[in-house]
C-alpha cells in the first residue's frame, strides 16, 4: 500500500478513533505535508547530512557546552578522579617499543616522551565529540592491520599499559577518549574494503572505514549500509559496532546484532580472533562476535567487520504529520506499521517544544500554520519505482514533490540536536522505553520541575527568570527510543542531580534502558544498575575479566565504579 494511501486513511481514521475513546481527546485534523521522492539517489540526501554533522560540530564546539567544562568540573555522571596506580606510566622505552612495531609517521608522541608533538596537537584525539571530556594521552598509534594491533596490545598487556581504542571519535558518552594517560589506538588508517559478495550483500572491511564512505561504495553496487546516523560522515564502522549504534534505519534493518555477520578482533593478549564469517546462517556454538557488539572496546579491539548490506531502495517517500496527542502518534505508528509494513523505513517523532527550538534556531518556516503538540516524520523506502508511481497515480492521482523538499523535511528532525545544543545548556538522555509510555516521562519531568519552581510559571508559561527553559523529547518512536532533553540557561549540577536519578528510577520502573543507542562510556557507567540486574552485571564483569584480566582495555568506563 502506498504511503499516500495510508496517510489519507490515517487522516480519516484518527479523529474517529480518538473520539470513540474519550471525548476529551482532541482530534487530529492535520496530517499534512507530503513529499514524494522517486528514483531517488541517496547520495545527494546523505551528502546534506554530512554538512549537518559539520554544522553540529561547529555548533557544539562554539557553544559554552564545550569550552569550559572539562572532566573535573562537569557533572556528567561518574567522573573518575584517580588514576589506577596498577597501570604503568609510559616511558621513552615504551615509545621505543611502539616504534619497533609502527613506522614513525604512524605515531604521535608528545615532546615529554621524546616525540615531536605539543600536547595541544593531540587535543583532537584527547577530546570527545561533544567536548565534555578531555584526556591526557601522550601517545596515539595508527596501526594498519590486525597484526600490528596484536603486537601493540601484546606489549601493552605485558607491561600493564592502559589503552583506549578510537574510531571516528563521534561518540556521545565519552567512551572513545582517554580518561587519564591511556594510549590511544586509532583505527583511522585501517580503512580498506576487503571484499563484497554481490550475491549475498556481505561486505567485509577494516574497522576504520567511515560509514558514509562504505555507503557510497555500496551505492555503486546497488546496495546500502543497514545503518545510517547523523555522524555518518565521520564515524567508523568499528565504532558503530562497538557502540551498538542505532540510527534512523533501525526500524527497517534492525540491530547490528543481526546485520553484523562476523568480526575480526584482537584480544589484549594479542590473539587475533578471526570470525569474519560472511554466512547468513551459522549455528555452530557460542556466537562470540555478539560479545564485541556494544562492548565499547573493553574486551578487545574490533579490527574488521563483516556486515550484511541491504538492497538500496530506489524509491523513497517522506511525510511530516501534525498530531494533537501522543495517543494519536501511537495510532499513526500502528497504522503505518500495518499498512506500510515492509516499506516503512523510518518513523520519527518530536514534540512542539523541540519543534519551536529547531524552527527558531535554524530559521525554518514551519510546515503548517499552526503549531501541533506532536510531529511525526514517516519515511518509506521501496524498490519498485514504477510500481509505487503507478499505484499512487491509480489510487490518488497525486503529485510528485521534489527532492529538495524531501531534504528540507528531514532537516526539521536532523537539525534538532544542533538547535538544542545552541539554545542553552542541554542535559540529554538517550532512553529506551516501551512505546506506549514513551513520551510520558516528558510530562512527568515537566510537572516535577514546575512543582519545584524550576520551570514554568503558575500559568504554565515559560518564565525567563527560572533556570530551566525547555523540557522536550524527540526520537525514534519505531524503536521505542526517546531523546529527552532538559535545557537550562546555565549548567547547574544541583539541578541536574535533582532530576537525573528520578528519570532513571522512572525508567527502571518501566523496565526501560538508560542508554538506547549511545552506549555507557563514562557518562552512564555508574547508572548501569538502572538497566541491568546485579546478576547480569556480575556476568559482564566475569566476561571482562576472562578477556582482559589486567583491565587495560578502555578502563574507568562501562562498569560501575567499585
Partner 1 sequence: MSQLRILVGVKRVVDYAVKVRVNSSQTAVETANVKHSVNPFDEIAIEEAVRLRERLPKGSVAEIIALSCGPAKCTETLRTALALGIDRGIHVQVPEGTTLEPLAVAKLFSAVVKEEKPDLIIMGKQAIDDDSCQTGQMLAGLLDLPQANFVAKVDIKDDKLTASCEIDGGLETVECSLPAVITTDLRLNEPRYASLPGIMKAKKKPIKTVTPADLKVDIVSKLKVLKVEEPPKRKAGIKVETVEELLNKLKTEAGVL
The binding site for partner 1 (CB under 8 A) comprises 4, 7-8, 11, 30-35, 37-41, 44, 319, 321, 365, 367-368, 385, 393, 396-405, 407
Q: What is the CA radius of gyration of the chain?
A: 24
Cα–Cα distance between 235 and 188 in angstroms, integer? Answer: 10
Cα–Cα distance between 481 and 431 in angstroms, integer? Answer: 6
* Comparison of 368 and 501: residue with beta carbon closer to partner 1: 368
Nearest to 74 by CA among 356, 516, 546, 490: 490
* Comparison of 2 and 554: residue with beta carbon closer to partner 1: 2
* Comparison of 32 and 193: residue with beta carbon closer to partner 1: 32
Instruction: Dihedral sign for Cα 539, 541, 542, 544, please.
Output: positive
**SS3 call for 468:** strand
Nearest to 157 by CA among 269, 265, 267, 272: 269
Cα–Cα distance between 256 and 260 in angstroms, integer? Answer: 5
Shortest distance in whole angstroms from residue 392 CB to partner 1: 9
Helix axes 42-62, 211-219, angle to 10 degrees: 170
* Comparison of 31 and 172: residue with beta carbon closer to partner 1: 31
Shortest distance in whole angstroms from residue 369 CB to partner 1: 9
Shortest distance in whole angstroms from residue 367 CB to partner 1: 6
The contacts found for 24-30 with CB under 8 angstroms, 24 or more apart, are 25/324, 25/325, 25/327, 25/328, 26/324, 26/325, 27/324, 28/322, 28/323, 28/324, 28/325, 28/328, 30/321, 30/322, 30/368, 30/370, 30/372
* Comparison of 367 and 382: residue with beta carbon closer to partner 1: 367
Q: Which helix (H) or strand (E) holds 475?
A: strand 468-476
* Comparison of 275 and 385: residue with beta carbon closer to partner 1: 385
* Comparison of 75 and 217: residue with beta carbon closer to partner 1: 217
Shortest distance in whole angstroms from residue 206 CB to partner 1: 20
Shortest distance in whole angstroms from residue 128 CB to partner 1: 27
Nearest to 174 by CA among 522, 475, 512, 487: 522
Shortest distance in whole angstroms from residue 379 CB to partner 1: 16
* Comparison of 146 and 409: residue with beta carbon closer to partner 1: 409
Shortest distance in whole angstroms from residue 122 CB to partner 1: 20
Shortest distance in whole angstroms from residue 40 CB to partner 1: 7
Cα–Cα distance between 421 and 66 in angstroms, integer? Answer: 10
Amino acid at each position: 500500500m502506498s504511503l499516500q494511501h495510508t496517510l489519507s486513511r490515517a487522516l480519516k481514521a484518527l479523529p474517529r478513533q480518538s473520539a470513540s475513546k474519550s471525548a476529551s481527546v482532541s482530534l487530529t485534523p492535520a496530517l499534512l505535508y507530503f513529499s514524494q521522492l522517486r528514483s531517488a539517489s541517496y547520495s545527494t540526501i546523505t551528502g546534506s547530512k554530512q554538512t549537518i554533522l559539520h554544522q553540529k560540530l561547529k555548533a557544539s564546539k562554539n557553544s559554552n557546552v564545550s569550552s569550559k567544562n572539562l572532566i573535573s568540573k562537569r557533572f556528567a555522571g561518574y567522573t573518575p578522579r584517580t588514576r589506577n596506580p596498577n597501570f604503568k606510566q609510559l616511558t621513552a622505552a615504551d615509545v621505543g617499543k611502539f616504534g619497533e612495531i609502527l613506522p614513525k609517521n604512524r605515531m604521535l608522541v608528545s615532546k615529554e616522551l621524546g616525540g615531536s608533538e605539543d600536547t595541544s596537537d593531540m587535543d583532537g584525539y584527547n577530546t570527545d565529540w561533544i567536548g565534555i571530556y578531555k584526556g591526557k594521552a601522550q601517545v596515539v598509534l595508527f596501526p594498519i592491520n590486525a597484526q600490528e594491533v596484536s603486537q601493540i596490545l601484546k606489549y601493552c598487556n605485558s607491561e600493564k599499559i592502559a589503552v583506549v581504542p578510537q574510531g571516528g571519535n563521534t561518540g556521545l558518552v565519552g567512551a572513545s577518549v582517554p580518561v587519564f594517560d591511556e594510549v590511544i589506538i586509532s583505527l583511522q588508517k585501517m580503512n580498506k574494503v576487503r571484499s563484497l559478495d554481490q550475491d549475498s550483500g556481505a561486505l567485509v572491511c577494516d574497522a576504520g572505514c567511515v560509514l558514509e564512505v562504505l555507503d557510497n561504495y555500496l551505492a555503486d553496487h546497488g546496495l546500502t549500509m543497514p545503518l545510517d546516523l547523523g555522524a555518518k560522515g565521520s564515524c567508523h564502522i568499528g565504532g558503530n559496532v562497538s557502540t551498538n549504534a542505532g540510527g534512523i534505519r533501525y526500524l527497517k534493518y534492525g540491530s547490528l546484532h543481526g546485520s553484523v555477520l562476523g568480526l575480526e578482533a584482537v584480544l589484549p593478549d594479542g590473539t587475533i580472533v578471526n570470525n569474519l564469517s560472511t554466512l547468513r546462517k551459522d549455528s555452530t556454538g557460542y556466537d562470540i562476535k555478539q560479545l564485541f557488539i556494544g562492548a565499547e572496546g573493553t574486551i578487545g579491539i574490533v579490527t574488521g567487520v563483516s556486515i550484511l548490506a541491504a538492497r538500496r531502495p530506489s524509491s523513497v517517500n517522506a511525510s511530516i504529520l501534525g498530531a494533537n496527542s501522543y495517543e494519536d502518534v501511537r495510532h499513526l505508528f500502528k497504522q503505518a506499521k500495518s499498512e506500510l509494513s515492509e516499506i516503512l523505513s523510518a518513523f520519527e517523532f518530536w514534540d512542539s517544544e523541540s519543534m519551536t527550538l529547531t524552527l527558531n534556531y535554524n530559521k525554518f518556516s514551519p510546515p503548517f500554520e499552526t503549531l501541533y503538540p506532536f510531529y511525526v516524520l514517516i519515511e518509506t523506502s521501496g524498490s519498485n519505482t514504477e510500481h509505487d508511481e503507478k499505484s499512487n497515480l491509480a489510487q490518488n492521482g497525486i503529485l510528485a514533490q521534489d527532492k529538495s523538499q524531501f531534504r528540507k523535511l528531514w532537516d526539521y528532525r536532523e537539525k534538532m540536536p544542533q538547535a538544542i545544543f545552541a539554545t542553552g545548556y542541554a542535559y540529554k538522555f538517550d532512553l529506551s522505553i516501551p512505546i506506549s509510555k514513551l513520551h510520558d516521562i516528558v510530562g512527568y519531568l515537566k510537572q516535577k520541575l514546575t512543582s519545584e519552581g524550576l520551570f514554568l510559571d503558575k500559568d504554565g508559561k515559560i518564565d525567563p527568570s527560572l533556570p530551566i527553559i525547555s523540557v522536550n523529547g524527540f526520537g525514534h518512536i519505531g524503536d521505542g527510543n526517546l531523546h529527552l532533553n532538559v535545557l537550562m540557561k546555565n549548567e547547574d549540577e544541583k539541578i541536574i542531580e535533582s532530576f537525573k536519578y528520578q528519570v532513571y528510577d522512572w525508567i527502571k520502573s518501566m523496565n526501560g534502558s538508560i542508554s538506547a543507542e549511545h552506549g555507557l562510556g563514562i557518562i552512564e557507567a555508574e547508572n548501569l544498575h538502572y538497566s541491568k540486574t546485579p546478576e547480569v552485571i556480575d556476568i559482564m564483569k566475569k566476561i571482562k575479566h576472562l578477556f582482559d584480566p589486567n583491565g587495560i582495555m578502555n578502563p574507568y568506563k562501562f562498569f560501575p565504579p567499585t
